Amino acid sequence: MKAALLIVVALAVCAYAQPIRPHISETFEGEGYSHIQTVNESIWGLGRWVIDEPQGHALEFWEFAHEHRHRSVNLLKRYDLGFEYAIAFHHYPTPTALATNGQ
């Protein structure tokens, strides 16, 4: 009888216990691949991200090799200032500012 009562109590505790949530870092770094498919070509590139949520900053960089280098771009995101600055190396040598409301 005690064993059955102990099992019921253990199941009740498990049922009402809060699930363990992961601790998600407020800063993040990552990288991945990009693929652009046009009518005539298939273009691969490498992307990198650095995000600092508490400071409201992020940097995104897309790099393409050789004859597609003109597609490479840096994106500096300043959520604290409300702007994203884009530097596309060959098309726009000076940064362009885009308003953003990201958090």
Residue 12 inside a domain? The answer is: no
Residue 11 inside a domain? The answer is: no
To the nearest whole number, what is the mean pLDDT of the chain?
78
Residue 1 inside a domain? The answer is: no
Could you give the count of Cα atoms lying within 13 Å of 76 in the half-sphere of its Cβ?
A: 9
Residue 43 inside a domain? The answer is: yes
Residue 51 inside a domain? The answer is: yes
* Host domain of residue 52: 22-99
* Neighbour count for residue 40 (Cβ, 10 Å): 5
CA–CA gap between residue 35 and residue 42 (Å, rounded): 7
- The whole model's pTM is what? 0.57
pLDDT at 93 over 80: no
The structural domain count of the chain equals: 1
Residue 16 inside a domain? The answer is: no
CA–CA gap between residue 49 and residue 72 (Å, rounded): 14
